[in-house]
Structure 1
Amino acid sequence: MMLSIDIWQLLGLAGTLLVSMAGVALTLGKWLLGQFERRLDQRFSLQEEIRLATQKHWDSQFSSLEKAAANEAKEWQRIERDILLMKADLPVQYVRRDDYIRNQSIIEAKLDGLAVRIENVFLKGDRHG
């Protein structure tokens, strides 16, 4: 049995084989690119979820810090107000040492003067009595 193939048939067969291999290669390439793109989409969506979770975490941390700072500022304002009230009450509530000594000296001088008068009254009373 003798097989005879014409050159044109051989070229046609080779062309068909080449086209079908190119089609398989393109289909395989398209499938691989689809897999690659799907994997990238999964990674990007996972990264986006992680980014959103991290953003929520840091937003909550910063808001708690802002609240703490606001509370601290209020606390400092309260302390400052208390100090100012104490400074205002200080002259009314407390007497300075120099003022106390001066007042004590005045009271002692008055008592000494009163003692002298009482002594004079006793001495005058002894003379008349």
Structure 2
Amino acid sequence: MKLEFELWHLITLVISLIAAYAGLVKLLLWQFAREMRERIQASSDASSAGLQAIQRDSQKWHDLELRFYQLLADMPVTYVRREDWARGQGVLESKLDAIALEVKNIQIQGGRK
């Protein structure tokens, strides 16, 4: 069996093989570029979601800090310090003792008559 090629057959074969190889390379590069675009987009979406989460957390911390400062501002109005309560309680007890003494004096004076 003898196989014969003319020059233009060989040139056409070589050009066809080079074109097929170039097409395959172009296809692979196109798929690679598409995959990279998808990864970049996913990364961008993830980073923007992360940024939004950070902003939400920052807002929550800001709200918590604001509520804490409001609590600190309202505390002197709402709550009584221990020393203030002890002083007020002492005044009440001294008044009750004075009333008890008056009642006792009235009872003693009423018993003498």
Q: Distance in 2 between matches of 1:61 and 1:101?
A: 59
Q: For 2:45, which of 46, 60, 68 is the aligned residue?
A: 60
Report matched runs for 1:1-129 at 5 Å: 20-21=6-7, 23-127=8-112, 129=113
- Identity over aligned residues, as a percent? 24
TM-score normalised to the size of structure 2? 0.80
Secondary structure of the structure 1 residue equivalent to 2:29: helix
Secondary structure of the structure 2 residue equivalent to 1:95: coil
User: Which structure has the larger Rg over C-alpha atoms?
Assistant: 1
Consecutive unaligned residues of structure 2, counting only runs of 5 or more, are 1-5
What is the total number of aligned residue pairs between the two structures?
108
Q: Distance in 1 between matches of 2:14 and 2:45?
A: 46
Coordinate RMSD, CA, aligned: 1.9
Could you list the per-position Cα deviations for residues 35-81 of structure 1 after superposition, in whole angstroms to 9, with x for gaps in the alignment? 11110110111111111221221122111111111111111111111
Could you list the per-position Cα deviations for residues 66-109 of structure 1 after superposition, in whole angstroms to 9, with x for gaps in the alignment? 11111111111111111111111112111122221221111101
Q: Distance in 2 between matches of 1:40 and 1:99?
A: 87
Q: Distance in 1 between matches of 2:81 and 2:18?
A: 91
Q: How far 1:125 moved relative to its partner?
A: 4.4
